[in-house]
């Protein structure tokens, strides 16, 4: 639903215009002066601003200039009862879409409004296409030739053409969002929005508003209406990353939105209908999350229509050379260091690493090596080993331990931190974490119990 902000110090005009444009299925927000309008505009997403010319304190021309400084593309139509050629020329030079006089003909105004919104939507679409022109989320950008990756390519190709909800699982750094984008940009929705939401990165108190939007005054600080991510993704795809981190109370509203494709903004009573393709992702075992009661069982099955699991890098070592070469080329071009090559010794070392951070970790290792490299070859001197990285972290911990701390306290603190770090990098797979730490799985479990991890 397109939204319009109307600004006029004459309340009668606000009432008439709101009724007129609401009948055309626009969402209309009104403001009685320019200062109020600017506060609302800063906090909301509008497709058009319709403002009076003559207002106290800040007139329509000055409001236009302020709006242009915030969003240079949104169309602004100026209204005035004091029509002159000079005012019309000034408004158009300042970037107004059009200039109408009061009293106006209803049909003419509706046609002007429709033209302005259509042009704005066309501009936004062209801008999005220009931004994405060099970001081709084809299967070729998901690097790998191992059998398991070839199967994933096949799955992406099959599911992209459908509306089916996809649930992507895999450890941190395996490329879940990249796969989600590949599905979207190879689907019939590719020309519409791809909206990504990290459920773990948004505070619990704000997540509902971020997803579904809110109405003015729905909570402290909600000074204006704001569209949520689902509304912004209408016609396209929404990617819900770290879905297991969503609060249980919000899961019921999400389930309804997925089942019925409709919802209400926070504090609102109006039901909004949407057409959104949903892709969810998690680095956790969601069946365990269901068993633990942190993820609703009905939501899990609603999301798990097409499951797609991404393997960790250690399970597809044949892809390491391809990935390393891809990142080498990427960062060599960015840093202007053409002609760099990876030495055989470095490549052997890359094969033998456990890669707890998966593809993302490999990318960072290559990026750092390119930055440090001074010759034509990436040698072992530019690649920190896993043991060296661990030493660096231990030294950092030791550096910040106060002198008054007792030895046993310091050792236990370091041990607990190392265990937490290893578990995090291993995706909470205890066997892999124990291997990184150089201890047995049973000893790791004993220490986890000791430190209440």
On the question of a common fold for 3-132 and 156-310, the answer reads yes
CA 149 to chain centre: 25
Is residue 181 helix, strand or coil? helix
Angle (nearest 5°) at CA 167 between 162 and 170: 135
Whether the predicted pLDDT of 396 surpasses 50: no
Least confident of 154-163, 179-188, 266-275, 415-424: 415-424
Q: Where are the domains of the chain?
A: 3-132, 156-310, 314-383, 389-450
Mean pLDDT of the region 114-128: 79
Q: What is the DSSP code (8-state) at residue 234?
A: T
Q: Which residue has the tokens 């490549």?
A: 347
What's domain 314-383's architecture?
A: Orthogonal Bundle (1.10)
Q: For residues 261 and 275, what is the distance between their CA atoms, to the nearest angstrom?
A: 6
Question: What sign does the dihedral 280-283-288-291 (CA atoms) show?
Answer: negative
Mapping DSSP to helix (H, G, I), strand (E, B) and coil, where does residue 341 land? strand
Q: SS3 for 312?
A: coil
pTM of the model: 0.66
What b/e sequence results for 303-314 when a residue is b if at least 16 CB atoms lie within 10 Å of its CB, and e otherwise? beebebebbbbe
Cα 424 from Cα 356, distance rounded (Å)? 8
pLDDT of residue 400: 53
| Average pLDDT score over residue span 126-142 | 52
Average pLDDT of the chain to the nearest whole number: 86
Per-residue pLDDT tens for 179-202? Answer: 999 999 999 999 999 999 999 988
Q: From CA 284, how far away is CA 303, in angstroms rounded?
A: 14
Q: What is the pLDDT of residue 133?
A: 40
Contact, 74 vs 47, CB < 8 A? yes
* pLDDT single digits (tens) 293-335: 999 999 999 999 999 999 999 988 888 888 888 899 889 999 8
Spatial distance between the Cα atoms of 217 and 427, rounded to a whole number of angstroms: 41
What is the secondary structure of 235-278 as a DSSP string?
TSEEEEETGGGS-HHHHHHHHHHHHHSEEE-BT---EEE---EE
Q: Give 23-28's long-range contacts (Cβ < 8 A, gap of 24+).
A: 24/110, 24/113, 24/114, 25/1, 26/1, 26/2, 26/113, 27/1, 27/2, 27/3, 27/225, 28/3, 28/4
pLDDT at 175: 93
Radius of gyration over alpha carbons of the chain, in Å? 28
Rounded-to-10 torsion of CA 412, 417, 420, 426: -120
Report the top-level CATH class of 3-132: alpha beta
Strands 98-101 and 237-241: unpaired
* CA pair distance 343, 55, nearest whole angstrom: 70
Class of the 389-450 domain? mainly alpha
The residues near 214 (Cβ < 8 Å, ≥ 6 apart) are 222, 225, 226, 228, 265, 266, 267, 268
Cα angle for residues 124, 126, 128 (degrees, 5° grid): 70
Q: List phi, psi (to 5°) of 103.
A: -75, 145
- Look at residues 70, 267, 240, 71 and name the one whose alpha carbon lies nearest to residue 169: 240
Cβ proximity of 325 and 363 under 8 Å? no
- Domain 156-310: give its CATH architecture: 3-Layer(aba) Sandwich (3.40)
Burial classification of residue 403, based on how many CB atoms lie within 10 Å of its CB (0-12 exposed, 13-18 middle, 19 or more buried): exposed
Separation between Cα atoms, residue 83 and residue 102, nearest integer Å: 8
CA distance 276 to 279: 10
Concatenated DSSP letters for 19-84? Answer: HHHHTTT-EEEEESSHHHHHHHHHHS--SEEEEES--SSS-HHHHHHHHHHH-SSS-EEEEESS--
Q: Residue 89's pLDDT band (boundaries 50, 70, 90)?
A: confident
- Both tokens of residue 430? 């205890």
pLDDT digits (tens, 9 = 90+) for 6-57: 999 999 999 999 999 999 989 999 999 999 999 999 988 899 999 998 888 8
Identify the DSSP state of 194.
E
């Amino acid at each position: 639903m397109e939204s319009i902000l109307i600004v006029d110090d004459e309340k009668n005009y606000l009432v008439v215009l709101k009724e007129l444009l609401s009948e055309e299925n626009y969402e209309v927000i009104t403001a009685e002066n320019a200062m109020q309008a600017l506060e609302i505009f800063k906090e909301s997403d509008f497709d058009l601003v319709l403002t009076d010319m003559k207002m106290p304190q800040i007139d329509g021309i000055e409001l236009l200039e302020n709006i242009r400084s915030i969003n240079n593309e949104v169309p602004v139509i100026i209204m005035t009862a004091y029509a002159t050629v000079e005012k019309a020329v000034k408004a158009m030079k300042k970037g107004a879409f059009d200039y109408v006089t009061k009293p106006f003909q209803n049909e003419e105004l509706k046609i002007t409004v429709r033209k302005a919104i259509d042009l704005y939507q066309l501009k936004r679409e062209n801008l999005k296409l220009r931004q994405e022109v060099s970001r081709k989320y084809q299967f070729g950008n998901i690097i790998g030739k191992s059998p398991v990756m070839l199967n994933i390519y096949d799955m992406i190709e099959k599911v992209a053409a459908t509306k089916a909800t996809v649930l992507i699982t895999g450890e941190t750094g395996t490329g879940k969002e990249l796969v989600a984008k590949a599905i979207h940009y190879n689907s019939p929705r590719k020309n519409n929005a791809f909206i990504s939401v990290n459920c773990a990165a948004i505070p619990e108190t704000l997540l509902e508003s971020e997803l579904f939007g809110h109405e003015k005054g729905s909570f402290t600080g909600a000074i204006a209406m704001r569209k949520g991510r689902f509304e912004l993704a209408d016609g396209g795809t929404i990617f819900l990353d770290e879905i297991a981190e969503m609060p249980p109370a919000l899961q019921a509203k999400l389930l309804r939105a997925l089942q019925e494709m409709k919802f209400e903004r926070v504090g609102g009573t109006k039901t909004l209908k949407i057409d959104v393709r949903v892709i969810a992702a998690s680095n956790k075992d969601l069946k365990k999350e269901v068993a633990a009661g942190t993820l609703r069982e009905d939501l899990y099955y609603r999301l798990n229509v097409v499951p797609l699991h991404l393997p960790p890098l250690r399970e597809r070592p044949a892809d390491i050379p391809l990935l390393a070469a891809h990142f080498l080329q990427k960062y060599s071009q960015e840093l202007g260091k053409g002609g760099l090559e990876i030495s055989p010794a470095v490549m052997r070392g890359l094969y033998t690493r456990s890669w707890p951070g998966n593809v993302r970790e490999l990318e960072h290792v290559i990026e750092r090596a390119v930055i440090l490299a001074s010759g034509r070859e990436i040698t072992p001197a530019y690649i920190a080993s896993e043991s060296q990285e661990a030493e660096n972290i231990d030294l950092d911990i030791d550096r910040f331990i106060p002198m008054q701390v007792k030895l046993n306290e310091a050792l236990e603190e370091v041990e607990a931190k190392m265990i937490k770090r290893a578990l995090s990098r291993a995706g909470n797979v205890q066997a892999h974490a124990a291997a990184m730490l150089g201890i047995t799985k049973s000893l790791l479990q004993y220490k986890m119990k000791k430190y209440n991890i």
